[in-house]
Structure 1
Amino acid sequence: MSADMIALEVRELHAFYGKSHILQGVNLYVKEGEIVALLGRNGAGRSTTVKAIMGMVDNRGEVLWRGKNILGMKAYEIAHLGLGYVPESRDIFPKLTVHQNLMLGEKGGKKPSRWSFEDMYKMFPRLRERQHTEAGVLSGGEQQMLTLCRTLMGDPDLIMIDEPTEGLAPAIVQLVAEYLKELKRRGISVVLVEQKLAIALQISDRVYVMGDRRIVFEGTPAELKADANIRKEWLEV
């Protein structure tokens, strides 16, 4: 499949929490094997965008996955189509071991997965060391690694990751960045919801900036670096 082919396209996406109108006509696309960052301040609608794509909030508009409109499908149905979602909350199973958590991520089926337990442990050696440890006693950084790897064990073709570096030490942040580059090397598309501008600009092919619950900028990392007005108005605190 051509790298220029669009994997995911969102058209005029609106989302609602009860009567609250959160997203107000979001448009974006992600190509096959591309890393796209979704930037913006807290409350801009970034997390709601990925939840709406996964069918986790009330929505309307169009969400096209490889040309098929998946809006209205349930989250588990969307996941079975090849979309992975890593929430900010790091939803691990605390009483299960690291290895058992990874096992739960595996998706049944005849198609062989691109990822093995060995891949996970090679990417994050700390998880190998703790593979028989209950996940609930891991550090925040280790839990983040585990959540990322558990989602990968389901062999998604596109993965949406919400604030993966939140609260992590700089060395762990760099590990996560290398992990995301490895996903791209293996042909997986990535939507990265991130507040750390430096890491997003370092690894992304394109960036979107959200403000007032809509997209206010689309371009390359270089174009965002060159646009001081956008950064000042929508990103800088």
Structure 2
Amino acid sequence: MTTLLDIKNLHAFYGKSHVLHGVNLRVEQGEIVSLLGRNGVGRSTTIKATMGQVAATGSISFKGDELIGLKAFQIAHKGLGYVPENRDIFPTLTVEQNLLLGEKRGGTARNSPRWALADMYRMFPRLRERQSIAAGLLSGGEQQMLTLCRTLMGDPDLIMIDEPTEGLAPKIVGLVAQYLTELQSAGVSVLLVEQKLAIAMDISQRVYVMGHGAIAFEGTPEDLRNNPQIRREWLEV
């Protein structure tokens, strides 16, 4: 396997607050990797630092290129997608206008993007039905679908998704899981930040567990199932 994202000895800071303490994490080409842990342990900070949104030291290598010191738009042009937890839609624009804003323009070397509007509407027929509606009028689940699809329109090689199932109905959670495995089948790697253990264990090839700004566990979902001490100490409430 080819390593797509390789994070080594990552430290991150919010002002004088030292949040990440030497995080090491990797995502191979074609993998779904989940980053698990309780709220406040540094999971979201890890992907924000990877996207150039948080001051950081150490090394973040993506397809062999160092990302630390680059701006977020430069990182996105290298083929790294990011779906933030707060969704960040443009509420006064229509669903279709939001999707077109995410469309790939230059950046990666591939000539033809893997995804087009028709693909988004095929995967999420509800978005096709609502394509002319202002995005701010969508339900929470529909906004999550829209944010995922808008990021995908940029044709990333790896997509980092922060808590995509937060606040969603169980039926929509299942749809998100199906969507992520479809991305994997199309050759897109996924780094998933998630609190719901079930979805992460079902679709991931490897999982990391964070605690106090550092990685406390790395292994397969089966390894984690067989390690009740790690689950009790770092995951269970």
TM-score (norm 1): 0.98
Distance 1:51 1:70 in 2: 12
Unaligned regions of 5+ residues in structure 1, if any? none
TM-aligned CA deviation for residue 70 of structure 1:
1.3
3-state SS, counterpart of residue 179 of structure 2: helix
1:50 is matched by which residue type in structure 2?
A: I
Equivalent residue number for residue 61 of structure 1? 58
Q: Does 1:16 align with 2:9?
A: no
Equivalent residue number for residue 31 of structure 2? 34
Size of the alignment, in residue pairs?
Answer: 234
Distance 2:83 2:64 in 1: 23
**C-alpha distance after superposition, 1:111-131 (max 9, x if no partner):** 211001111011111101100
Equivalent residue number for residue 43 of structure 1? 40
**C-alpha distance after superposition, 1:71-123 (max 9, x if no partner):** 11001000000000000001000000000000000021382110011110111
Equivalent residue number for residue 73 of structure 2? 76
* Pick aligned residue for 1:95 from 81, 92, 96: 92
1:59 is matched by which residue type in structure 2?
A: A
1:136 is matched by which residue type in structure 2?
A: G
What do you get for the CA RMSD once the two structures are aligned? 0.7
Equivalent residue number for residue 224 of structure 1? 224
TM-aligned CA deviation for residue 67 of structure 1:
1.6
What pairs with 1:103-182 in structure 2 (closer than 5 Å)? Answer: 103-109=100-106, 111-182=111-182
Distance 1:236 1:16 in 2: 27
Where does structure 1 differ by over 6 angstroms across 4 or more consecutive aligned residues? Answer: none
Distance 2:63 2:115 in 1: 22
Distance 2:64 2:147 in 1: 29
Identity %: 68
Equivalent residue number for residue 183 of structure 1? 183
3-state SS, counterpart of residue 174 of structure 2: helix
1:159 is matched by which residue type in structure 2?
A: I
Distance 1:160 1:39 in 2: 13
Unaligned regions of 5+ residues in structure 2, if any? none
Distance 1:108 1:73 in 2: 19
Equivalent residue number for residue 200 of structure 2? 200
Distance 1:137 1:64 in 2: 39
Distance 2:178 2:87 in 1: 19
TM-aligned CA deviation for residue 218 of structure 1:
0.2
Q: Does 1:85 align with 2:50?
A: no
TM-aligned CA deviation for residue 69 of structure 1:
1.2
